[in-house]
Amino acid sequence: MSGRSHPSVLTGLTALLLCCAAPAAAAEAPAAAPVDLRGSEIQVFIENDSFGSTDQYYTNGIKIGGGIPADKVSKLFTRPPNALLDAITDGASNHFGLFIGQNLYTPRDITIAAPQPNDRPWAAWAYIGAVAQSVKEDRLHTVEVDIGFVGAPALGRQVQTFWHEYVVDAAEPKGWGNQIRAEPGILLTYVHKRRYGDSNGIQFVPHAGLSVGTIMTLARAGGILRFGQNMTGFGPDGIEPGGAMLKNTRSQYDAGRRRPWEWFAFAGVDGRLIAHNIFLDGSLFRDGPGITRKDAVYDISAGLSGRIDKLRLSVTRIKRSEEFDGSGKQKFYSINLGIEF
């Protein structure tokens, strides 16, 4: 046997040393830090007129999404972008969020398959969106961008037919063949809110905003009056663009958030001056159904909201004014379930 080491022996010794060293190295490696979700949230909104014993006009809406604090997003960047973000926000509590949603609109009688030119057009709107919200002291700024489709790609026929057949045992909707024609849509919305009063007692929260896009163009203003204990945020919202999709605020900006529970009752009004509403005016780019709408409409709302630790539930009853001649007022409910981390 030669005095030189055999290659296979060297290979075996090397492999053995690596196997022995690997567990030691793994033991010395620090455990991965848990993901910090504080300040994040998940929100689910459902609106439906069947809770008010009707099945017409704005008949269903759903919006699901969530958000995270901006400082968690900013960790993806290095300075100077972080320094610029700090300068712009000036110490505010900022959140970013993403969501998906769908709204359905029908005439008064959904069992008629023929066109109904004197009633509300059939319409569906499915979209994805992004929202940014900034809270500083008692001021809230919200910017929302929605991109999606109206018409058949929004799957209004499929969703309402399934819901009526398998969930609520209601009449079959037969007129979706007459819906507003398919086209893409975009909507940009800004809403500002202020909060006056104490978190234990009475608060007044006025708002004003603007929406511009192929889906809607309108200006709005209104407010809510609420009474309760340990109140946080700026009150409940519906699915409407610019609503408080991100309700959570950091405890240093919202004293009531340090409490394990809160509740409040509220009533409010929201008035809108409308320059364009695709769900009534009809398609911007194609011929199709539409009806002459009213330029000014309003909602009157009332409801209850409560939070136990991280779980929040709000129920709002909304009465909407006549949107076109002969439509009458409409009632529907908005339900919001949120989980805050």
Instruction: For 63-90, write each residue's pLDDT tens digit.
Output: 999 888 777 765 555 444 445 445 445 6
Is residue 3 assigned to a domain?
Answer: no
Is residue 16 assigned to a domain?
Answer: no
Confidence (pTM): 0.84
Q: Tens of pLDDT along the chain (341 residues)?
A: 444 444 443 444 344 334 444 444 444 555 555 556 677 889 999 998 876 667 789 999 999 998 887 777 655 554 444 454 454 456 667 888 899 999 999 999 999 999 999 999 999 999 999 988 888 888 988 899 999 999 999 999 999 999 888 887 788 899 999 999 999 999 999 999 999 999 999 999 999 999 999 999 999 999 999 999 999 889 888 888 877 666 665 555 566 667 889 999 999 999 999 999 999 999 888 888 899 999 999 999 999 999 998 899 999 999 999 999 988 889 999 999 998 87
pLDDT per residue as tens digits for the range 222-258: 999 999 999 988 988 888 887 766 666 555 556 666 7
Terminal C-alpha separation, the chain:
70
Q: Which token pair is 198? A: 């104490």
Is residue 57 assigned to a domain?
Answer: yes
pLDDT per residue as tens digits for the range 209-219: 999 999 999 99
Q: Which token pair is 264? A: 């409040």
d(CA 154, CA 149): 6
Provide CB contacts within 8 A for 171, sequence distance 6+.
Answer: 55, 110, 111, 164
Is residue 209 assigned to a domain?
Answer: yes
CATH of the domain at 163: 2.40.128.140
Q: Cα angle at 101 between 99 and 104, to 5 degrees?
A: 170
Domain count, the chain: 1
For residue 210, the enclosing domain spans 33-340
Is residue 25 assigned to a domain?
Answer: no
**pLDDT given at position 121:** 95
pLDDT per residue as tens digits for the range 118-133: 999 999 999 999 988 8
Is residue 21 assigned to a domain?
Answer: no
Is residue 285 assigned to a domain?
Answer: yes
Is residue 116 assigned to a domain?
Answer: yes
Q: Which of 73, 62, 64 is CA-nearest to residue 39?
A: 73
Produce one character per residue of 213-224: b if its CB has 16 or more CB atoms within 10 Å, e if not: bbbbbbebbbbb
